[in-house]
Amino acid sequence: MKAIKTNGGDAFAIQGYVSKRADIVRLFDETIAHFGKVDVWVNNAGVMLNAMIKDLGEDQFEKSIDINFKGVFYSLQEAASKLADNGSIINLSSTVTRTIFPTYGVYSATKAAVEQLSRVFAK
């Protein structure tokens, strides 16, 4: 942030958990309060917890869904009404959606879900 401000820009930090809808709402609202609008939103949070499907624990499964999927979903919900006109959303996925590795099942499924949400939201 210091480099941005030193070069004439404006920046500030907000802590939040993408898996919590209330935090996503707050992230949008505080950004709009500070800058007046949100022009670009980047969903880049992600976690890759590798295990065979039969071995992935419930807590690992929930964490993957929470961070990789819910965060994007909640962000799209907020962006639908709070993103500036002609604003952009960038949802990051993974090339893993096109590979079949035995321990990438849940991770690749969450990223495939992000890709499908992105296509539907774009329409």
Catalytic entry in 70, 94, 104, 108:
94
Pairing of strands 83-91, 38-43: parallel
Question: Catalytic: which of 19, 64, 107, 108?
Answer: 107
- Is 111 annotated as catalytic? yes
Residue corresponding to tokens 């079949």: 100
Task: Write out the H or E segment, with its range, that includes residue 84.
Answer: strand 83-91
Residues whose CB falls within 8 Å of the CB of residue 56, separated by 6 or more in sequence, listed in order: 49, 105, 106
Looking at the DSSP bridge assignments, the partners of residue 90 are: 42
Say whether 93 is catalytic: yes
Question: Active-site residue among 19, 75, 93, 108?
Answer: 93
104 in catalytic set: no
φ, ψ of residue 11 in degrees (nearest 5): -150, 155
The residue from 74, 75, 104, 111 that is catalytic is 111
Catalytic residue numbers read: 93-94, 107, 111
